[in-house]
Structure formats: structure tokens, C-alpha cells
Amino acid sequence: MNKILLRIADLRKKAKVTQQELADSIGVSFQTISKWENGVNKQISYWA
């Protein structure tokens, strides 16, 4: 799995931020965050 995707999940959990809170702060859905963290959508096209 992509190291960036693993890092997102790790940092989010350490900061005690929910997927919904992270999603709201960057303007994506919580489903997108979940997909990123679970490797369903390995391309983070939000910033591309």
C-alpha cells in the first residue's frame, strides 16, 4: 500500500481526528478519506 495513504491514517488517528473532521477540513467526503486509508482509491487526485 502507498506510504502516503498509510501516513494519512496514522497521523489522523494520532491527532484524534475523525475521518469526517479531516474530510470537512480539506473539502472532501469522509468516504474519500476512508477509500484513501483503505487503499480503495490509491490516487489522491484532490491535489493533482
Where do the domains of the chain lie? 3-47
Predicted model pTM: 0.74
Mean pLDDT calculated for residue range 18-47: 83
For 1-48, the DSSP string reads --HHHHHHHHHHHHTT--HHHHHHHHTS-HHHHHHHHHTSS---GGG-
Residue 28 has pLDDT above 80, yes or no: yes
The angle formed by the CA atoms of residues 1, 47 and 20, to the nearest 5 degrees, is: 75
Q: How far apart are CA 1 and CA 6, in angstroms?
A: 7
Provide the pLDDT confidence category of residue 7 given band limits of 50, 70 and 90: confident
Mean pLDDT calculated for residue range 22-46: 83
